Amino acid sequence: MEGYNSIEAVLERAIQLEVEAAALYTKAAATVQNEPVRKRLEEMAIQEQHHKSKLEDVRAGNVRWAIRRSKAEPVTDLRLSDHLVSGELAPDADYQDVLLFAAQREKTAHEFYKAMAEMVEDKLTQSLFEMLADEELRHKYVLEKTYEEVVYKDF
C-alpha cells in the first residue's frame, strides 16, 4: 500500500479524513449566512463524526460484521456531481454549492478506498477497503439524490 505500511495506518488516515471533514463542515456552518445551508452543514459534520466512530469500530475488530452488512446493501452511483465543477465552501455558499462540494468530497474518499483495495492481496483487507469505498459511495448517493430533488427540480 503506497504510503501505508498496514491496514491500521490506512484506518488511521481514514479516521483523520473524517475528523478533517467534520471540522471543515463545522467551520463552514459557522460562516455560512443561509440558515438551511447552515443546518445541512451541521448535519454533515455529525455524519462525518458517525463515520469516524464506525471506522474506530472497525479498527477495534468489528471488521467482519461491517463487511457482511455492507455487502447486503447495494450501492448506486448517480454520477451527478462527477461532471460539475465545485470550489471551496464560501461564506455565501448556497445549498447547491454545499451539496456539490460534499458529493465530490465523498467521491474522493470512495476513490481512495477503491485504490487501497486494489493494492492489497489479502482478501479480508480487500473486503474492508471495498466496504469503506461503498460507505462513501452511499454518502455520495444521498447527497446527489438530494441535489437532484432540490436543484434539478427547478429546471
Average pLDDT by stretches of 10, the chain with 155 residues: 72 89 86 80 87 84 65 76 79 80 89 87 80 85 84 68
Q: Which residues form the domain of 132?
A: 7-154
Q: What is the pTM of this model?
A: 0.77
Evaluate whether 114 touches 136 at the Cβ level (below 8 Å). Answer: no
**What residue spans of 5-122 are helical by DSSP H?**
7-31, 35-59, 63-71, 95-119
CATH of the domain at 101: 1.20.1260.10
Domain assignment present for residue 2? The answer is: no
All three cell numbers of 27, joined, read: 467551520
Domain assignment present for residue 1? The answer is: no
pLDDT confidence of residue 69: 56
pLDDT confidence of residue 66: 60
Domain assignment present for residue 35? The answer is: yes
pLDDT confidence of residue 15: 92
Provide the number of structural domains found in the chain.
1
Evaluate whether 41 touches 106 at the Cβ level (below 8 Å). Answer: no
pLDDT confidence of residue 3: 66
